[in-house]
Structure 1
Amino acid sequence: MKHTNQPLFAEERQAQIIELLEKNDKMTVPELANLYHVSTVTIRTDLRTLDAAGKLKRTHGGAISIEKSGFEPTSTMKEIEHPGEKRAIAQRALELIENGDTIILDTGTTTYELSSLLHQRNGLTVITNDLKIALNVETTTDASLIFVGGIVRRGFHCTTGPIAVSALTDLNADKAFLATNSFTPEKGFMTPTLQQAEIKRAFMTASVEKIMLADSSKFGQISFVRFAALSEFNQLITDQNLPEEQLLNMNKQASHTTIIRA
């Protein structure tokens, strides 16, 4: 596709954006703005228009092709996304954990970061369905480890399914640290599969306190299955990139949930 410095009508530019996404799967707002020599505001308007028409799926900072809208990056792919924010969130979450606690760690890259800090606490019991977290806890801490068995999701290093959910029925934890793929104030927290939603709900049921760990890139995104509302959590820990206006709106929506920007 040939691009020139000549200005395009919005309809022409939007048609070309769709073609680009068909070839590249995803594009960022700055990439498109540089390509078409327009402002990021103009590109965001284009993406909103195309998203509303069902031509693409908007993401945090860009867009993906509609064919990829149900796509979930593997654990390895997620590890390189927003590492600084995830470490800051994990460090703040550690402050909530006391010696002797029984905690649940949901599968996720931010919860993995938290597991790497648990050597700073003594006498913990850690429940997890994440293979990498389990190995990390076993080799770096003195914690008692309970691994939740089930069907392994290849590429995601975790277990799901009825066996995993059933294993949690008789367990009781002090605190559960959950992860999410997506969040909007209207729909709540979401994940791409029914099986993931089921085990997340089981984690929440098994714990007295529920703490969500979610970097701001998850906000404004949509996934297939809703598993919880913001108001169901005692705390939400996110990063400093969450806009102040959005923070205020969330505080109004869930006044009993403490929202922390790490």
Structure 2
Amino acid sequence: MLVVAHRGASGHAPENTLASFSRALEMGARAIELDVHLTTDHELVVAHDDDLRRCGRDRRRLKALHWDEAAGVDVGAWFDKRFAGERLPRLDEVYGLVPPSVELHVEIKHGSRVYPGIEERVVDLIHKRGALSRTLVSSFDHEALYMVRSLDEKVRLGYLLGLTTLKTAVREMQEISAESLNCSMRQTNARLVKAAHDRGFKVLVYTVNTPADRDRLARLGVDGVFTNYPELDLWR
């Protein structure tokens, strides 16, 4: 089972920061998940929320900020004072940090309706970094996945289920040649796993933070889990 470090080692360090990604690598993570937005000057910035209230005590929305403004916000102190001064990284910086042997699962938070051109910028960066084989692009915004596929037939895609029915998800995954169905623990059951596997799709489940949940999902036959604790596969 693949264990994916969810926003890095986000149980140990502030999520979606270089500190969190570095900690995940130290813990032996084979895959790291992160989220991307687009600043007003078209920089791919790594963050989960649309604004900086939760992690930066700043109400401004990322799409309204220039990169240098976003980079000036402390997104580490909320987690622990030891991380004061941590800032949002650019996606390109993360590719520079994470070795080629480690997969990156890049979730586009919103497609072009919110961030015009974000899909093209993600695809361009993947190619610039020579990271086609080790990157999986995912999104709840399924139009963004269709756009990525129209830009490049070889980019690996993960379909985040959200509120979409399984029947619709399977059809759309086939249309875009997705690799995986990414879903929550609550959504995951034997029927879903079988439906995905019967059609050649992997099943990746979030957010799995206990050995009991990991073991239950392993019995269902899922292919991977997203966790805030990359040491999860060492727990027995």
TM range (shorter): 0.3 to 0.5
- The answer to which structure, 1 or 2, has the higher relative contact order (CA under 8 A, 6+ apart) is 2
Superposition TM-score, scaled by structure 1 size: 0.33
Superposition TM-score, scaled by structure 2 size: 0.36
Q: Which has the larger radius of gyration?
A: 1
Normalized per residue, which structure has more helix?
Answer: 1
